[in-house]
Chains A and B, each alone.
Chain A
Amino acid sequence: MNNAFIIGQYIPGESIIHRLDPRTKITIIFFFVIIVFFANSIASYGLLTVFSIGSALATRIKLSYIIKGLTPVWFLIIFTFILHLVVTREGDVLFELLSFPVYSGAVAQGSAISLRFFLLILVTSLLTLTTSPIEITDAIESLLHPLKRIKFPVHELALMMSISLRFIPTLMQETEKISKAQASRGVDFKTGPIKERLQAIVPLLVPLFVSAFKRAEELAMAMEARGYQGGEGRTKLRELKIKPIDIVTFGIFCLIIIGLYLTRT
């Protein structure tokens, strides 16, 4: 993939955010997603923005790269904003835009919703940018561990997740390889009427499915040959450990929550 779309991409690094325990990151993001909806004043929005931008800066990944990578999301944010401008009718009429009256309430609500949207996407993409897929699944397995009591197959779920995450890049490479091979045989994926372009997908999808099934079978065989047996008694190469830095981060996040409570109106 040559485009700069960064959601779901992992950029290895050594920053504080990279070194946090993935469970810390996931928990904080979980609560962040909730508290974003409690913000209702300029000060509270400001606080959350400072927190998000601050975390983004702490990853040591160039902010411009992150912002650019969210391009497809920007369209959605701008679209939401414009929709609010046109539809909401509260407060005073500020000015007219192409004979549509724009209300002050609309500007306020539009900006608030767009900002919320932006913060949500930014913070959640920080998780995948700084945490490898393996770490994420380990964290999820560990966080869901209590569910084992009610016979929920936590380990199997985590295994499924890590296998599918592991194969995303492989399948992407495969897709690129096959689409190049077919392009060399005269398939045109990029131009022409929609109908033809849809038909052009068949020579891509069939080989992709064939190889995905083959891979799945080989993987299952390899796992069985090495005596894989999930769950009980299985030790881990990477043990997750809560470090002082995680506790400090949690502390900061609690302060943010308190701050948010105080700045709400």
Chain B
Amino acid sequence: MDISFENVAYTYQPKTPFEHRAIHDLSFQVSSGTFVAIVGHTGSGKSTLIQHLNGLLRPTQGQVTIGDYQLSSDKKLKEMKELRRRVGVVFQYPEHQLFEETVAKDIAFGPANFGVDQAEIKKRTYEVIQAVQIPEDLLERSPFDLSGGQMRRVAIAGVLAMEPEVLVLDEPTAGLDPRGQKDIMDMFYRLHQEKNLTTVLVTHSMEDALHYADHVIILDHGTKYMEGKPAEVFVKKEELNKVQLDLPEVIQFIFKVEEKFGFRLTYRGQELSELAQELKELIRGADNHE
């Protein structure tokens, strides 16, 4: 589903001493099927933004359009439930939302709320546990007996079982070990491609944003600071430093090379090791010419 924000603003607790403007004048467009990363410093309004995507918050100004659904301050959306089924949100530390007696029941909770019948739920349960790599024999265990990483996977499975068309991920890898982080991100990327999802990833990790996203939106103090293709955005060193964001490792490497050798490698999505290889050949080539 296409997502569009038009001059969106959201203020928490308006007209009280605790009034807080979380986002303002925010406009952007994401077309269906895009993998978009939202990057920003703590307090830049990322979490507030994603709560607009499934109608948990309604903008206090402006308009949010997701597919055929429109959210604005003046009217309530009648098809809220439908919107929530089609936009699945994986919150930060999703394992905190587990509550059922068994893993299977917890995964079934979302779809059951949206009126999916038992047979279909069963079918989906087996599909999603395969996607998140949870062995079948855990299905009848209590989710509270599992390890942290497994709990996270079960919670993600619970969202995937709703078969959403838009997947919103709020730092889905926070607190996992490096291996688990890569596994989970690769899984989301695979699902994104297989199911033709529109994916919105909120992340602190420049590496992930560079590696997986088609489009990057950088937020600062509640509004859009920059947007564009990752390879174009992440080479703007000065602009990024201004909002306390680091460059991804690969890009840092390119800048270091430029500093040291005086020429610039072009970034086309290579891994660090591939870049090193290129550099080696370039230097050797230069030597041979002499």
CB-based nearest B residue for A186: B113
A95: CB under 8 A from chain B? no
B99: CB under 8 A from chain A? yes
Which of B80-88, B124-132, B267-275, B278-286 participates in binding chain A? B80-88
**Do A207 and B98 have beta carbons less than 8 Å apart?**
yes
Given contacts A177-B91, A180-B56, contact A185 B17 (CB under 8 A): no
- Residues of B close to A187: CB separation below 8 A: 113
B96: CB under 8 A from chain A? yes
- Residues of B close to A11: CB separation below 8 A: 17
**Do B17 and A184 have beta carbons less than 8 Å apart?**
no
8 Å CB interface, A25-66 against B = 61, 65
- Per-position 1/0 for A86-109, Cβ under 8 A of B: 000000000000000000000000
B230: CB under 8 A from chain A? no
Q: How far is the CA of A210 from the CA of B93 in the complex (A)?
A: 14
How many inter-chain residue pairs (CB < 8 Å) link A and B?
A: 60
- Per-position 1/0 for A172-209, Cβ under 8 A of B: 00100110111111111000000000000011001100
8 Å CB interface, B77-130 against A = 81, 84-85, 88-89, 91, 94, 96-99, 109-110, 113-114
**Do B89 and A184 have beta carbons less than 8 Å apart?**
yes
CB-based nearest B residue for A210: B144
Task: Give the A interface residue count (CB, 8 A).
Answer: 23
Size class of the contact patch on chain B: 20 to 34
**Do A4 and B56 have beta carbons less than 8 Å apart?**
no
- Residues of B close to A61: CB separation below 8 A: 17
**Do B96 and A203 have beta carbons less than 8 Å apart?**
no
B8: CB under 8 A from chain A? no
**Do B56 and A184 have beta carbons less than 8 Å apart?**
yes
| A3 nearest CB across to chain B (Å) | 9
| B274 nearest CB across to chain A (Å) | 39
Enumerate chain A interface residues (CB-CB to B < 8 A): 2, 4, 11, 61, 65, 174, 177-178, 180-188, 202-203, 206-207, 210-211
Excluding A2-B13, A180-B51, 19 further A-B contacts by CB distance (< 8 Å) are A11-B17, A65-B16, A177-B96, A178-B97, A181-B91, A182-B97, A184-B54, A184-B84, A184-B89, A184-B159, A185-B97, A185-B113, A185-B158, A186-B110, A187-B113, A188-B81, A188-B113, A203-B97, A203-B99
